[in-house]
Amino acid sequence: MSDVPISHTIFLLVTVILASAVSAVIIAKTYQIISSYNQNAEAISNQLSTSLSIIYGYYNKSINGYVIYVVDNGMETLTQASLSRTYIYLGSINSTMSFYIYNESGGLGTWNVYKIVGSNNGNIVPGSTAVIYVYTGINFGNTFRVIIALPNGQTFSQIIQSAP
């Protein structure tokens, strides 16, 4: 008969099985950590490469709202899909901001892109200027604040003083 007792063989098998289970858990957790890190790094990269500048704005009686000029000086294109999930806040600097959602057709309480200078595909591309209509239904005066909140969590804010 063999020199190794059966209890030693069973102990060796159990040890090998436990080591395999532990290494499988470690490999799975390592993969989850790496995947999470890659997703966070991509999100941060997108935020760093997105940059908007709110250049100018004024109240326009004919649309019963504000005309806002926004330049994309980042490296990311804002597509129609991302614009549909973008929010604009607008109001006087000493009061609460009003919230406006995207609606391609416009209408009270919404905003839309009137035209894009420097793009021919309907997207706001790097280097282009978007002319945005915000249908407020009220004139907040010549000094007002605009905040643009993108779907990636990034916000761009500007206090604008338009000519009377």
Nearest of 61, 71, 47, 79 to residue 132 by alpha carbon:
71
Reported pTM:
0.72
User: Do residues 109 and 137 touch, judged by C-beta distance below 8 A?
Assistant: yes
Residue type, 134: V
pLDDT tier at 164, thresholds 50, 70, 90: low
What sign for the dihedral angle of Cα 50, 55, 61, 62? negative
**Cα Rg for the chain, rounded, in angstroms?**
28
List, as one string, the DSSP characters of 86-137: -EEEEEETTSPPEEEEE-TT--TTEEEEEEEET-SSSSB-TT-EEEEEE--S
**163 φ, ψ (degrees, to nearest 5):** -70, 140
Number of Cβ within 10 Å of residue 125's Cβ equals 18
2 vs 36, which has greater pLDDT?
A: 36
pLDDT given at position 1: 47
Kindly tell me if the per-residue pLDDT of 2 is higher than 70: no
100-115 exposure pattern, b = at least 16 Cβ within 10 A, e = fewer = bebeeeeeeebbbbee
- Residue 156: CB partners within 8 Å, gap ≥ 6? 51, 52, 53, 54, 147, 148, 150
Number of Cβ within 10 Å of residue 118's Cβ equals 13
pLDDT for 86-127, tens place per residue? 999 999 988 889 999 999 999 999 999 999 999 878 899 999
